[in-house]
């Protein structure tokens, strides 16, 4: 049996390599050899393919009126992953514990609740100006690991996983006189304009961070 030893300072995290020693089965060295302890670190956790959660924001059409409530939510599923350390199977459990929403206009929300679909407004925001915005969700996951089917143990530290942004257009609805006999020319006046530098939404001068 070959063993490699590592001493870890639990206060500083400093690791010291104690080298490798060999022990043949049936020898006193083999019987006296300490058991190999497998620990999953935050670095190990961060290297695993934890999937980002799917963010839901705004109506399905991809736009909402200025100052209309924008409902934000996600489904916080726990993920189970498997890996192998020192030839031993290890299961990893990644659990969402907090959610950070970046609304793209300077406003942000950090919450421990995943939110709920409309008509709930548990996690929500509004845009005060017209334009395109990207809504980005960053989820913080805590982790646990189980070695070869053993009891679950906590992983020290957490990881953050960012989802792909959700584009949404904040539309300013203004009344105007139109000729009811003339059909709307969607090519001339599209309801949702093409995204370009001129249609990007401006930053909110009163942007703030909220915790829910």
Please, what are the domains in the chain?
A: 38-211 (2.60.40.10)
Q: Is 35 exposed, middle or buried (0-12, 13-18, 19+ CB in 10 A)?
A: exposed
Give ∠ CA 205-207-209 in degrees, rounded to 5. 165
Question: Given this model, what pLDDT does residue 186 score?
Answer: 47
pLDDT of residue 210: 96
Length reported for the chain: 212
The pTM for the full model equals: 0.77
Tell me what pLDDT residue 35 has: 61
Distance, CA of 67 to CA of 130 (rounded, Å): 10
The CA R_g of the chain, rounded to the nearest whole Å, is: 26
Across the range 191-198, mean pLDDT stands at 92
Using alpha carbons only, give the angle 161, 166, 170 rounded to the nearest 5 degrees.
Answer: 140
DSSP string, 99-165: EEEE-SSS-EEEESS----TT--SSEE---S-EEEEEEEEEEEEEEEEETT---EEPSS-EEEEPPP
- CB-based contacts of 106, cutoff 8 Å, min separation 6: 203, 204, 207
In the chain, the percentage of residues whose pLDDT exceeds 70 is: 75
Mean of all residue pLDDT scores within the chain:
84
CA distances from 132 to 35, 57, 166, 172 (A): 58, 13, 10, 12
Residues paired with 110 in a beta bridge? 100, 211
Digit-coded pLDDT (tens) for 113-166: 999 999 999 999 999 999 999 999 999 999 999 998 999 999 999 999 999 999
**Which pLDDT score, from 0 to 100, does residue 112 have?**
97
Confidence label for 43 from pLDDT (cuts 50, 70 and 90): very high
Residue 148 region by backbone torsions, left for phi larger than 0, else alpha for psi between -120 and 50, else beta: left
Q: Does pLDDT of 7 surpass 90?
A: no
Query: What is the mean predicted confidence (pLDDT) over 70-77?
Result: 96
């Amino acid at each position: 049996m070959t063993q490699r030893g590592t001493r870890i300072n639990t206060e500083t995290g400093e690791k010291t390599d104690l080298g490798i020693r060999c022990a043949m089965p049936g020898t006193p060295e083999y019987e006296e050899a300490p058991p190999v302890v497998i620990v999953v670190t935050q670095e190990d956790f961060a290297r695993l393919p934890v999937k980002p959660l799917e963010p839901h924001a705004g109506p399905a059409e991809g736009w909402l009126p200025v100052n209309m409530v924008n409902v934000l939510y996600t489904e916080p599923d726990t993920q189970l992953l498997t890996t192998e350390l020192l030839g031993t199977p290890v299961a990893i459990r990644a659990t969402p514990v907090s959610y950070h929403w970046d609304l793209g206009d300077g406003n942000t929300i950090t919450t421990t609740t995943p939110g709920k679909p409309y008509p709930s407004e548990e996690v929500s925001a509004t845009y005060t100006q017209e334009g395109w915005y990207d809504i980005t969700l960053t989820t913080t996951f805590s982790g646990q690991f189980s070695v070869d089917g053993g009891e679950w143990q906590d992983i020290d530290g957490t990881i953050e996983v960012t989802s792909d942004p959700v584009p949404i257009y904040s539309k300013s609805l203004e009344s105007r006189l139109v000729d009811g006999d003339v059909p709307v020319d969607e090519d001339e006046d599209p309801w949702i304009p093409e995204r370009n530098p001129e249609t990007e939404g401006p930053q909110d001068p009163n942007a703030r961070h909220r915790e829910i």
